[in-house]
Amino acid sequence: MNKLYILAFFVALLAGCSKPSDKIVVATAANVQYVMKEIQQEFEKESGKKMEIVVASSGKLTTQIREGAPFDVFVSADTKYPEEIYKNGGSDQKPEVYATGALVLWSKNIPEADLKPEALTAENIKKIAIPNPKTAPYGEAALQVLNALKIYEQTEKKLVYGESIAQTAQYITTGSAEAGFNALSIVLSPEMKGKGHYVIVDSSLYTPIQQAAILLKHSEDSPKREASEQFYKFLYSAKAKAIFKKYGYK
C-alpha cells in the first residue's frame, strides 16, 4: 500500500515535467504588448516557428532574467535595462534600439480641444496617472514634460503612479484619474480604440524614448537558438519597422 502511495506521488511529480517546448519565449515590456501580437503573427507566418509572449514591466522582466528566467529575447521599453543585462553577462551581443516611442496625454472624459499638459494644473483635474518614473521610461518622460513646462510643483500632489504602463492605462480608462500620460502604442492598439481622447505630447519636452532589445544567453545551447536568432533579426527587419510605425513608433 505504502509503495503504491510513493509510486503515485512520483507519477504526479513527473506529470508536471513535460518535454521542453521548442517555442521561443519573448519577454515583452508592457508598452510593446499589442504591437508584439502583430509582430508575432508575421514572424510565425514567415518562419514557421512558434513563439510565446510574456508581458510585464521592463524592471520586473530584468529582475526575472537576472534570476535565470527562461526567456530567449528581451524587448524592453528603454535602453537602460538591456544594458544592465548585457553588463551582467546575460548576453554576448550589445542591445540594439528597435524603435523610438512617443508620449501621449490621455483622458477618459476631457475632449482633445482642452487636453494639453499645461491644463493639468486646472482645478477639475484631481488625479494624474503616470507610470512609475523609477522603473518605466514613459513615467520618466512624463516628469520631464511637467518640469519643462514648470508645472511640476502644482501637479505633484495630483500624481498617482501605475506600476507599469498597462496599469496606468487602467487608471485612465476607468476614469479613476482624470488624465494621465501613456505610450502612443497603447492608445493606438485595437484594445484601447475609442477609450477616451488623447493628444501627442510635443517631443521636444522630453528625452527621446529609445527602446532596445537584446538576444539572451539562455537559448545558446538549446534547440531554440536558431529560432531566437531568427526572431531577433526579424525585429529589425523592414517588415517589423512597418508594423512599429503603424503603432506610432518612430
Residues that bind another protein (CB under 8 A): 57, 59-60, 62-63, 66, 84, 108, 126-127, 129, 132, 134-135, 159-163, 170-171, 174-177
Q: How far is the CB of 156 from another protein (least distance, A)?
A: 10
> Is 58 labelled a binding residue?
yes
Q: Tell me the DSSP string of 22-82.
A: --EEEEEEGGGHHHHHHHHHHHHHHH---EEEEEE-HHHHHHHHHTT---SEEE-SSSHHH
Q: How far is the CB of 160 from another protein (least distance, A)?
A: 3
State whether residue 181 is helix, strand or coil.
Answer: strand
Q: How far is the CB of 44 from another protein (least distance, A)?
A: 30
249 CB contacts (<8 Å, ≥6 apart)? 35, 99, 100, 101, 102, 184, 185, 211
Q: Under a CB-based contact definition with an 8 Å cutoff, are residues 103 and 181 in contact?
A: yes
Q: Between residues 159 and 235, which has the closer beta carbon with respect to another protein?
A: 159
> Of 129, 109, 102, which Cα lies nearest the Cα of 31?
102
Q: Between residues 160 and 205, which has the closer beta carbon with respect to another protein?
A: 160
Alpha-carbon distance of 153 to 150, in angstroms, equals 8
Q: Between residues 127 and 250, which has the closer beta carbon with respect to another protein?
A: 127
Task: State which H helix or E strand residue 209 sits in.
Answer: strand 209-215
Q: How far is the CB of 241 from another protein (least distance, A)?
A: 30
Q: Between residues 161 and 234, which has the closer beta carbon with respect to another protein?
A: 161
Q: How far is the CB of 229 from another protein (least distance, A)?
A: 27
Q: Between residues 59 and 248, which has the closer beta carbon with respect to another protein?
A: 59
H runs (alpha helix) in 119-237: 137-148, 152-155, 165-173, 184-187, 225-235
> Is 214 labelled a binding residue?
no
Residues contributing to the annotated binding site for molybdate: 58, 165
Residues contributing to the annotated binding site: 58, 165
